[in-house]
Amino acid sequence: MYLDNAATTKIHPDVMATMQEVSYANYNAKYYEEALLVQKQVDQAINAIAKMFNISDQALVFTSGATESNNYIIKGMFELFPDKHFVTSTIEHKCVLATFKYIETKGARVTYVKPNNQGQITKHAVASMCNQDTVFISIMHVNNETGVINDIAEIQAYAKQNEIYFHSDAVQSLGKTPLNFADYDFLSFSGHKVHGPKGIGLAVNNTSLEIPSLIHGSDQQHGHRAGTLPNELIVGLAKAVELILKQGNELLIKNKEFVINMFADSFGEDLVVNFHDVPTVDSIISMRLVGEVNQIFLEENKEMIKASTGSSCSINNPSYVLQECGFTKQMIQETIRISVNKYDDLSELVSN
Ligand code: PLP
């Protein structure tokens, strides 16, 4: 049973079919039929994403994944405002934290907000770290290890009131919990977390700021990111976004309950579902198996359960996210992350 959808997802068959249908020509080529066709197909895909997000086509920058989107936005903001103050949290994805650590080596002033004891980053905590010099706040929408949803609408409203730019890494929330895309200054997304292809992500810039490009070369994507446009990945991403936003959460909820019941049957009172007092997405379930050692448990049960101890990017280190949420070493060692999707019915998989 594949229960590691927060790490990556299987490409949806309709996404694969769409990718196979797109013209192979270079988007920037001219004169011949295949080139004209690819422009039409890719422009349609870009326009479809913009429409679904209710933002302009120009706000979209296609990247290689959310790691690059986060690097592009954070490094770009530092380049534009090197003397200003930045705020983020201690439980961001490793690629956000590492980028902030990098800009600190170049002289950036960064403050890291801690979560409350429910693993949530509150507006109050963010606001208490901001000052007159603060130019940029970056707080993720949904944490990839805990599934906890941060109230980013409230943080964005605070940022707007105080003329601070706000970015949210919304990789784990797309299609799982509502998001008013147009309300945010900057957003990051990843194709492979939503049953799209690996190797593509999105950086959304709804501001009038020109974020300096990370990748230099020709002037593709209005000079925001050089490199031949990946036709197949762009149309695949557009299809994946369309499908995930259209599909309701019924199966996601059913799958979540199925997995919790399955573990409850085996572990009884030794199953503790973490973060049950705060809003969480139904796709990510952080749970403790009391008395077990997570790595040994997952290794011994790998034929039955394909899951992670936490973020697959930091698999060999004890989770800094859970540490920040106040978990003891033992609690961290007992915790596994289950992540389900909204397309495969787990109860059918088991009965077949
Ligand atoms: N941000 C979050 C919250 C994630 O879960 C991930 C995936 O691991 C990333 C960023 C990085 O995404 P990508 O694999 O597209 O670079």
Write the pLDDT tens digit of every residue in 202-259: 999 999 999 999 999 999 999 999 999 999 999 999 999 999 999 999 999 999 999 9
Output the six-digit token pair for 159: 């940022």
Strands (E) in the chain, as ranges, are 60-63, 85-89, 109-113, 134-138, 165-169, 186-190, 201-205, 271-273, 284-289, 335-339
Separation of 99 CA from ligand 1 center, angstroms?
Answer: 13
**CA–CA gap between residue 294 and residue 191 (Å, rounded):** 28
Q: Return mean pLDDT, the chain.
A: 96
pLDDT of residue 255: 98
Q: Is the pLDDT of residue 334 over 80?
A: yes
pLDDT of residue 317: 74
The C-alpha angle with vertex 143 and arms to 342 and 109, in degrees rounded to 5, equals: 150
- The answer to whether 76 touches 211, Cβ cutoff 8 Å, is yes
Residues in the ligand 1 pocket, defined by CB under 6 Å = 65-67, 93, 95, 140, 144, 169, 171-172, 190, 201, 313
pLDDT of residue 318: 87
Separation of 35 CA from ligand 1 center, angstroms?
Answer: 32
Exposed e or buried b for every residue in 6-19, given b needs 16+ CB within 10 A? Answer: bbbbebbeebbebb
pTM beyond 0.85: yes
pLDDT tier for residue 307 given thresholds of 50, 70 and 90: very high
Q: Which residue's CA lies nearest to atom 12 of ligand 1?
A: 66
Q: Is the pLDDT of residue 312 over 70?
A: no
Ligand 1 atom nearest to 191, measured from its CA: 15
**CA–CA gap between residue 10 and residue 252 (Å, rounded):** 15
pLDDT of residue 252: 97
DSSP lists the bridge partners of residue 61 as 203
